[in-house]
Amino acid sequence: MGSLQLSPKYVADGGEPSDRRAVTPTFNVRRKDVPKTLVEASAQLRSHTRSSPDSPSSTYHEKTEALPEIRVTPVGLEIYELPSSFPKLPDPVSPNVPLTHEEKGRVIERARELVLYSVDPDMQLAWASDALNWLLVCYSRERNVCDTKNSSFQSSVEGSQLEIDAKNIIDFLVAQGHPHANFEKGKWLEFGHFGHRVNKRSAFHLYRDALSEGYMRAAYRMGMMYESSNDPTKAIEYYERGRKENDAACCYRLAMIAFLGQHDQKVDFAKAIPLIKTAAQRADEYAPQAAYVLGLLQADDLPHFRTPELKDLASARKNIEKAAYLGFAKAQLKMGSAYELCTLGCPFDPALSMHYLELASLQGEPEADMSLSRWFLVGYEGVFEANKEIAFTRAKRAADQDLPTALFAVGYFYEIGVHVDVDIYQAVEWYSKAANAGNLDATARVRALIQQGYHPPRVPGPGPRSRSTSPLHP
């Protein structure tokens, strides 16, 4: 049982999805039970379907595709600044371009009643999993843009009816012993999501139960837990168990162990390359990394990993695009850059560049916010106008995550007065932070301003980055 996806199946060659098909609804919903708002929904959204290789044959997307659609506003969208300032995508858009976060939310919202009336547990699980993962992105953005430490702060997404409905489905199916449901609840307990405290022991037991019923992705999570407990031998044993069933996550982890020579294993490219290819081919929304790494190898974009036998720019673009489509933030950042700088064989396209960058920003990639800041600082004639407020806001958001170029940019904005009043002392403060983070341009600006009589305050350097900057993280 694979997770149901929110968009069309990735199309490697730009053609129509191979599994797009007519589906006769089989769940038990009488027409009069369908809310009027769903029946009258407008057909403006891109009603796409996509499936991973092991997805269930009946999907909630296919069942709602036939319904006309209204404008449904998902919970939590007030925390997004998706202004009309963002350029519109071309119409029609390529089927390989992922939906916006708002569009995903609308697909989930309009399917809610149909799913709740359904008697198909796989469909319900797929919807519940998609809904909760969509909400995790909402929670992340809310933490980034709102003052959550303020005593008067009230979350616009936590405890929503969408969360309640999705959790109820999974809790009910856990009680029935459904392996995929056990796996999903295990993740809540491992990472402390959705009101649960971290409880790794209970999470492990749920993963074990899921694996015993044949849900192979659980082998990956169990392996990761053994790795974090300094038992790599046991971890590799579980990864190998998943590899035998071609689980994408297990194949990817074993490939990285072989590429990097981790856990006292020898560096073995001959072993790693077939594994990364299998993992990339089997990639899904919950294990998209392999497609990205394979794409980087094919683009010869990993200087410490020379694999000339893999070099193929067209395949590199397809794999990185696939990983971006499946929701991997670093791949979305890469595609955003590709449409700006015309790399990977991509044409110059500001709208697509900003589309991918916004998706990466939603997942907390500071480089994406900094790139959006640069776009909005100058605009692009005939496509979208400059917006100094957004330029400053996005640079500040990236600077708050200690990105050196963003720290410099905020200093520059204060020095010349972009959306803020000119404040040289603030400029020196931000330049000093950037200099402490290793930005040489900032060091030069601090020296120049000191010579003019402006002295920097004593400011701490940036703290340790909370996110890995390597594309080859486990």
CATH number at residue 246: 1.25.40.10
Mark whether 307 and 269 lie in a shared domain: no
Mark whether 359 and 371 lie in a shared domain: no
Mark whether 270 and 165 lie in a shared domain: no
Mark whether 412 and 443 lie in a shared domain: yes
Inform me whether the pLDDT recorded for 54 exceeds 50: no
Q: Are 111 and 64 in contact (CB under 8 A)?
A: yes
For the chain, give the secondary structure using H, E and C.
CCCCCCCCCCCCCCCCCCCCCCCCCCCCCCHHHCCHHHHCECCCCCCCCCCCCCCCCCCHHHHHHCCCECCCCCCCHHHCCCCCCCCCCCCCCCCCCCCCHHHHHHHHHHHHHHHHCCCCHHHHHHHHHHHHHHHHHHHHHHHHHCCCCCCCCCCCCCCCHHHHHHHHHHHHHHHCCCHHHHHHHHHHHHHCCCCCCCCHHHHHHHHHHHHHCCCCHHHHHHHHHHHHCCCHHHHHHHHHHHHCCCCHHHHHHHHHHHHHCCCCCCCCHHHHHHHHHHHHHCCECCECHHHHHHHHHHCCCCCCCCCHHHCCHHHHHHHHHHHHHCCCHHHHHHHHHHHHHCCCCCCCCHHHHHHHHHHHHHCCCHHHHHHHHHHHHHCECCCECCCHHHHHHHHHHHHCCCCHHHHHHHHHHHHHCCCCCCCHHHHHHHHHHHHHCCCHHHHHHHHHHHHCCCCCCCCCCCCCCCCCCCCCCC
List the structure tokens of 448.
């120049």
Inform me whether the pLDDT recorded for 64 exceeds 90: no
Q: 443 CB contacts (<8 Å, ≥6 apart)?
A: 435
pLDDT reported for residue 272: 96
Mark whether 450 and 312 lie in a shared domain: no
Against a cut of 0.75, is the pTM above it?
Answer: yes
Question: Of the segments 38-47, 110-119, 146-155, which one has the largest average pLDDT value?
Answer: 110-119
Inform me whether the pLDDT recorded for 61 exceeds 90: no
Q: Among 330, 364, 398, identify where a domain stops.
A: 364
Mark whether 350 and 449 lie in a shared domain: no
Distance in angstroms (rounded) separating the CA atoms of residues 122 and 394: 40
Q: Give Cα separations from 141 to 118, 152, 392 (angstroms).
A: 31, 18, 17
Handedness of CA 8, 12, 15, 19 (dihedral sign): negative
Mark whether 253 and 263 lie in a shared domain: yes
Does residue 292 form part of some domain?
A: yes
What's the average model confidence in pLDDT over 250-257? 98
Inform me whether the pLDDT recorded for 398 exceeds 70: yes
What's the average model confidence in pLDDT over 351-355? 96
Mark whether 258 and 330 lie in a shared domain: no
pLDDT reported for residue 52: 40
Res. 74 pLDDT band, cuts 50 70 90: low
pLDDT reported for residue 456: 61
Does residue 209 form part of some domain?
A: no
pLDDT reported for residue 140: 80
Mark whether 129 and 12 lie in a shared domain: yes
Mark whether 39 and 104 lie in a shared domain: yes
Distance in angstroms (rounded) separating the CA atoms of residues 245 and 102: 35
156 compared with 419, residue with greater pLDDT: 419
Does residue 205 form part of some domain?
A: no
φ, ψ (nearest 5 deg) of residue 180: -65, -40
Inform me whether the pLDDT recorded for 21 exceeds 80: no
Using a pLDDT cut of 90, give the percent of the chain over it.
66
Mark whether 220 and 100 lie in a shared domain: no
Supply the range of the domain harboring residue 301: 288-364
Res. 93 pLDDT band, cuts 50 70 90: confident
Furthest C-alpha separation in the chain: 78
Q: 199 CB contacts (<8 Å, ≥6 apart)?
A: 189
Inform me whether the pLDDT recorded for 360 exceeds 80: yes
What's the average model confidence in pLDDT over 6-17? 43
